[in-house]
Amino acid sequence: MNLIIDVGNTLAKLAVFQNDELIDKVQSVLDDFEINFEILLKKYPKIDKGILSSVGLLNNKQLQLVQKSLNVLILNGETSLPFINNYKTPQTLGVDRIALVSAAVKNFPTQNILIIDVGTCVTYDFLSEANHYLGGAISPGLRLRYTALNNLTANLPLLTKEMPETITGDTTKSAIHSGIVNGILFEIDGVIETYQNKYSNLTVILTGGDANFLSKQLKSSIFAHSNFLLEGLNHILQYNSNE
C-alpha cells in the first residue's frame, strides 16, 4: 500500500492507494497533520511506502515523523519520472506540474497532451506522444487578475469572480468581470487552438480550483477529476518502486 502526501500552504492531502486504486483520502490542516498521518497508518498497517510533495511546507517535527514511519520518496527535481523531462531548469519546475504530467502519462499514453491547471496561476504543460515533456507557460489566474486591478489602480474595486452575462460591461463592475473572465477564457481557448493547429491527436485536460467555474465556457477540454494530481504522485511512486 502507498501513502500519498500532498502538502499545500494551509492543507495537506493524505491518500491511500492499493496499487493504482485510491481507497481512502483525508484532508488535514497542517496543525493536525501528525494526528491524521498516524490515524491512517494505524488504519492501514500494510502501508509500506509513500511519496511526499512540497516537503518545505512541513515543519521539522512533521518531516521527521514521516521519514521515521515510512520508506518515503521526497519529490524534487532529481526524482526519476515516468516521462522524459526536456525542461531546461528542472529544479524550478513545480512539483504540482510534475504530478499532473505524470497523471496524464498514466491515463492518456501515447497522446499529445495539453494540461491546463487553473488555480492561483494558470499553468500550461505539454507532453508529446513520444512521452517528452516540453514545458509550457504560466500566467496569472482569476484571483491574481482581480487583485492586480485593485492593487495597481487608484479607483477600481476588488471583486470576487463572477461569470459575466455579456462581453460588453455597462458598469465598472460588469466591465471588470467581462475583462477578467472573458480574457482568461479567450487566452485558454487561444492556447488550445494553437496547440491543436500544431499537434494532431491532442488531448486537453483541465484541472485546478477554477476548472469547474470555467469549464462550461471553454470550447474543448476534458475536465479532470479531483484526484488527478494524487494519481500522478502515486504513479511517480510506483515508477520509482519498480526501477
Catalytic residues: 96
SS3 (DSSP) at 141 = coil
Neighbours of 27 (CB within 10 A): 12
Q: What letter represents residue 50's amino acid? A: G
Burial-class residue 197 by CB neighbours within 10 Å (0-12, 13-18, 19+). exposed
Q: Is 145 assigned to a binding site?
A: no
* Residue 96 is assigned to a ligand binding site: yes
203 assigned ligand-binding residue: no
Question: How far is it, in rounded angstroms, from Cα 45 to Cα 40?
Answer: 8
Ligand-binding annotation for 147, yes or no, is no
C-alpha cell at 200: 494532431
232 in a labelled binding site: no
The three three-digit cell numbers of residue 105, written as one number? 502519462
Annotated binding-site residue? 12:
yes
**Quick one: which H or E segment has residue 184?**
helix 183-198
36 marked as binding residue: no
Q: Is 106 annotated in some ligand binding site? A: no
**Beta bridge partner(s), residue 242:** none
124 assigned to a ligand binding site: no
Q: Is 189 known to sit in a ligand binding site?
A: no
Report residue 175 as a C-alpha cell.
Answer: 466591465
> What are the Cα distances from residue 157, in Å, to 149, 153, 172, 175?
8, 9, 9, 11
Tell me if 20 is assigned to a ligand binding site.
no
- Numbered residues of the known binding site for ATP: 6-13, 120
- Numbered residues of the known binding site: 6-13, 87, 94-97, 117, 120, 172
- Numbered residues of the known binding site for substrate: 87, 94-97, 172
- Numbered residues of the known binding site for K(+): 117
